[in-house]
Structure 1
Amino acid sequence: MTPHTFHDLPSLRRAVRRICAAHRLPSRTGGRLVRSVAEAAGAALGADGPVRLDAAEQTDPGGTTLLAVTLYAGQPPAPLSTARLPLPGRATPDGGLAWLLPLGEGPEPEPPASPPATRGGAPVQDRTEAETAEAHATQIAALEGDLAAALSRVETLTTELHRLKDELAETNSGVLALYVQLDERDEQLRRAHGQILRELEDALRPSPITVEGLEFAVHYEPADTDAPTGGDFYDWLCLPDGTVHITVVDALGHGVRSTRSALNVTHAVRTLALEGHPLESIVARTHDILAPFDPEIMATVLLARINPETGELRLANGSHPPALLLRADGTSDYLEIRGRGIGFPLPGSESVLEDTLHEGDLLVLYTDGLTESRRDPIEGEARLVKSARAHAGRPVDEIPGAVADDMHTVILHSDDTLALAVRRARRDAPRAGADATG
């Protein structure tokens, strides 16, 4: 027989049974050989290693014909064991396990036909019935051996399954713990990042100014608390002639890039204001300065000039939401001015609006994040008037934050928000602090 390779027990058992039938081994011997080969090969096949089976007839020195059945394991986890096998074998020098089984001289000749023998008048039974019973017993023993091997295999697989489930549960627990740790670390990094950005942006925002007769306060709220930088910026300063200049900017986008654009706009406006350029020309000149260096810049701008002695108010606008003037008598006006912002076609303020800020009047400058949180600017402007009236009597440093809280009770459209309040103090009342709140 040419050696054959096997990867599972059923095919190996079938091959051994074919060998037993081909060489007419007795049923009992064949059954024991099947069980022995299966038990010897079980460990190697259980480790997913193939086995090789060889069968050949040979003659010993005494002239007896033997059947040599040899089992080889390709890469066994341990040498093939000969212990406690139903049919003991012997180890070969090349690492195999061999069984040498004597073979008969062939089938016995049939006796001549003769009348059946009788005993006490009854025919004597021949040996066929006994041999059949013995063959059945041998087959049952072989099947029982196969069943025992299968049950043993099932038990081994069950144990392995439980072990793998335990390892999988332990691995999943470890992975879950790792995810929790990574999420906690990510949250810590986001908070640290946000804190650094807040400190940096606070350093870039101008400090509050103190001007006799005017009270100032500001509130800024980023769209994303973990990324507090944005394009909503402001600037306020006292000009050489004593007037107060205020700039409110809303640069397109969010994050660091929009912060850079807003800073560029406020710095350019501050420079032009200090150089004495007319208010009506500053928006257009700022565009002319910045566009060559940043062709993609887009920003809306609102400029205010206030004379603290007379209350004279002058406004220029570049596509920005209008300022709200809430008068001491409770009336209010949106100070509308046509114009186009930085980066827009034909940038510049079409005119300068002039008005007067009387004692007790409140001027609210803001970005669209305050009035468009519900995606309806008209409705937002109406709510802003109502909120400003409700909080106008509070200390000025509380007004912008209180108004922002009212406006953001419902947020359908998240955006950076800036609210800046200027109130002309009453001469008969003590001047409120000029602190700005963030």
Structure 2
Amino acid sequence: MTENSFYALPQLLQAVRRVANENGLPVEIRARLVLSVTDVAVGELSAGRPIALRTTREAGSHDDSPVLVIALRAPRALRPLSTADLPLPALATGPHSVIWRVPVPKAEGSSLPAPRPITDGARPHPTAEQALEEELRATVARADALTAEHRRLKHELAETNGGVLALYVQLEERDEQLRKAHGQILRELEDALRPQPLEIDGLELAVHYAPADPNAPTGGDLYDWFALPDGTLHITVVDALGHGVRSTRSALNVTHAVRTLALEGHALESILARTHEILMPLAPELMATVLLARLDPATGKLQLANGSHPPALLLRADGTSEYLEVRGRGIGYPLPGSEELLNAEVHPGDLLILYTDGLTESRRDPCEGELRLVEAARRHAGCPLADLPSAIAADMHTVVLHPDDTLALAIRRTHPSP
């Protein structure tokens, strides 16, 4: 162990370099040590206060390398020495002392420390300028190596990101394919649940249905139409609360119950209340608005029963129109059923439109929607009936603030065949 005091920075650094060379420290470690010693000692030496340098060698345990211990002490320091942010981390063993513990490299293939570098007798140690140049070259070489490594890693990261992006695009495409396939299957199932078009002498019928989400076409908007034994056309329009398969099942339960009751001969004004009585024990969470219509194609006699559903629109052949309002409450509501039965007459050329609220409430204002529905019906009244419901829906949905399932049925009375 040796300890010497220094009053000038060059002499202190020369001693540190000499110790580093004698112990075979790599140039890069030596450069970090020199810079760290400078940071710690420059303040004291500039103020004319001495710095003591002590160096020792400690044996390593088992096969570990020996450790070079470099300690700086400032006996007259006015404030503690700082060890923060040093190029070579150090420990503060007291307010005025700092210590570095640096492993001494072994000679290759040997358990002994690396030998002291061989120098000629005239210059056993490099000058300060030579040592500084050597350290600078080592630093530059290290920086170049890090730059090359950074460039390589950046290139590998770019390739990895490209591969991940390509995989992400493939997954997105696959997901889109699955969504479309899923939607197609659901659309086919949904279409299978809807009744087939009817051919009734004296009437034309057409329907339009569009889900709120094309990839999830199931919903609670459903209709049913069929001819009663006396030739009267019965129509049921249902809007079950919610979306998805559960609401479709609720709507199916309503249409099946209504069809059964209608074919059994129950009066139209009693069917809604009776449907509620049948379904509530089986599905107490079910809620649905329902509109029932019966139209005699021979006489044009129309009967309507309503349970909380939007009113039917009757557009006369002369362009006049009226909403057929009937008070009532839907399935699952308190006091369900139609309060009365509305009777009207549909003349040849008249157009009857039944729909769900998705048609008129796309802009969140049902009153404004009803006014626009009348205008759209008049605008398209002259087109083929098969295209009329879809054309009206397209007009109504030029702006959609509230997407919802949409159902629209159009019935036009014609002159019956001779």
- Tell me which interval the TM-score lies in, with the shorter structure as reference length: 0.7 to 0.9
Q: CA 1:323–1:54 in structure 2 vs 1: closer, same or farther (change >3 Å)?
A: closer
What is residue 260 of structure 2 aligned with on the other side?
271
The offset of 1:137, in angstroms, is 5.5
Report if aligned partners of 2:65, 2:113 keep a CA contact under 8 Å in 1. Answer: no
Distance (whole Å) between structure 2 residues aligned to residue 203 and residue 70 of structure 1: 81
The secondary structure found in structure 1 opposite 2:180 is helix
**Counterpart residue identity of residue 379, structure 2:** A
**Counterpart residue identity of residue 200, structure 2:** V
Deviations 1:322-345 (A, max 9, x none): 001111122111100000001111
Write out aligned runs for 1:108-147 (5 A).
Answer: 138-147=127-136
The offset of 1:142, in angstroms, is 2.4
The offset of 1:147, in angstroms, is 2.0
Q: CA 1:144–1:52 in structure 2 vs 1: closer, same or farther (change >3 Å)?
A: farther
The offset of 1:376, in angstroms, is 1.1
Distance (whole Å) between structure 2 residues aligned to residue 15 and residue 196 of structure 1: 81
The secondary structure found in structure 2 opposite 1:233 is strand
What is residue 53 of structure 1 aligned with on the other side?
66
**Counterpart residue identity of residue 53, structure 1:** P
Report if aligned partners of 1:322, 1:334 keep a CA contact under 8 Å in 2. Answer: yes
What is residue 316 of structure 1 aligned with on the other side?
305
Q: CA 1:285–1:365 in structure 2 vs 1: closer, same or farther (change >3 Å)?
A: same
Distance (whole Å) between structure 1 residues aligned to residue 345 and residue 275 of structure 2: 26
1:99 aligned to which of 102, 110, 115: 115
Q: CA 1:15–1:325 in structure 2 vs 1: closer, same or farther (change >3 Å)?
A: same
Does residue 225 in structure 1 map to residue 214 in structure 2? yes
Distance (whole Å) between structure 1 residues aligned to residue 202 and residue 143 of structure 2: 93
2:380 aligned to which of 381, 384, 391: 391
What is residue 159 of structure 2 aligned with on the other side?
170
Deviations 1:139-168 (A, max 9, x none): 332222222222221111111111111111
Across the aligned residues of Structure 1 and Structure 2, the Cα RMSD in angstroms comes to 3.0
Q: CA 1:136–1:268 in structure 2 vs 1: closer, same or farther (change >3 Å)?
A: same
The secondary structure found in structure 1 opposite 2:282 is coil
The offset of 1:399, in angstroms, is 1.0
Deviations 1:322-372 (A, max 9, x none): 001111122111100000001111110001001111111111000011111
Distance (whole Å) between structure 2 residues aligned to residue 145 and residue 398 of structure 1: 88
What is residue 211 of structure 1 aligned with on the other side?
200
1:37 aligned to which of 25, 28, 44: 25
The offset of 1:204, in angstroms, is 0.6
Write out aligned runs for 1:43-82 (5 A).
Answer: 52-54=65-67, 71-72=104-105, 81=108
The offset of 1:31, in angstroms, is 7.1
1:243 aligned to which of 232, 237, 241: 232
What is residue 105 of structure 1 aligned with on the other side?
none
Q: CA 1:149–1:17 in structure 2 vs 1: closer, same or farther (change >3 Å)?
A: farther
Does residue 369 in structure 1 map to residue 358 in structure 2? yes
The secondary structure found in structure 2 opposite 1:310 is coil
The secondary structure found in structure 2 opposite 1:235 is strand
Report if aligned partners of 2:240, 2:289 keep a CA contact under 8 Å in 1. Answer: yes
Structure 1 length as normaliser, TM-score? 0.72
Report if aligned partners of 1:322, 1:337 keep a CA contact under 8 Å in 2. Answer: yes
What is residue 322 of structure 2 aligned with on the other side?
333
What is residue 99 of structure 2 aligned with on the other side?
none
Deviations 1:74-119 (A, max 9, x none): xxxxxx54xxxxxxxxx53x3x4432699xxxxxxxxxxxxxxxxx
Report if aligned partners of 2:21, 2:116 keep a CA contact under 8 Å in 1. Answer: no
2:369 aligned to which of 368, 380, 392: 380
Number of aligned residues: 342
Q: CA 1:341–1:54 in structure 2 vs 1: closer, same or farther (change >3 Å)?
A: closer
Does residue 415 in structure 1 map to residue 404 in structure 2? yes
What is residue 137 of structure 2 aligned with on the other side?
148
What is residue 351 of structure 1 aligned with on the other side?
340
Distance (whole Å) between structure 2 residues aligned to residue 279 and residue 426 of structure 1: 26
Q: CA 1:71–1:348 in structure 2 vs 1: closer, same or farther (change >3 Å)?
A: same
The secondary structure found in structure 1 opposite 2:217 is coil
Distance (whole Å) between structure 2 residues aligned to residue 15 and residue 199 of structure 1: 86
| Rg larger for | 1
Distance (whole Å) between structure 2 residues aligned to residue 55 and residue 400 of structure 1: 92
**Counterpart residue identity of residue 37, structure 1:** L
Structure 2: 5+ residue stretches without partners: 2-11, 31-63, 70-101
Deviations 1:275-313 (A, max 9, x none): 111101111111111111111111000000111111111
Report if aligned partners of 1:70, 1:97 keep a CA contact under 8 Å in 2. Answer: no
**Counterpart residue identity of residue 171, structure 1:** T
Distance (whole Å) between structure 1 residues aligned to residue 103 and residue 301 of structure 2: 113
Report if aligned partners of 1:245, 1:305 keep a CA contact under 8 Å in 2. Answer: yes
Report if aligned partners of 2:182, 2:215 keep a CA contact under 8 Å in 1. Answer: yes
Q: CA 1:316–1:55 in structure 2 vs 1: closer, same or farther (change >3 Å)?
A: closer
The secondary structure found in structure 1 opposite 2:25 is helix
Does residue 304 in structure 1 map to residue 296 in structure 2? no
The secondary structure found in structure 2 opposite 1:98 is coil
Distance (whole Å) between structure 2 residues aligned to residue 52 and residue 167 of structure 1: 36
Q: CA 1:17–1:179 in structure 2 vs 1: closer, same or farther (change >3 Å)?
A: farther
Structure 2 length as normaliser, TM-score? 0.75
Of all paired residues, the percent bearing the same amino acid is 65
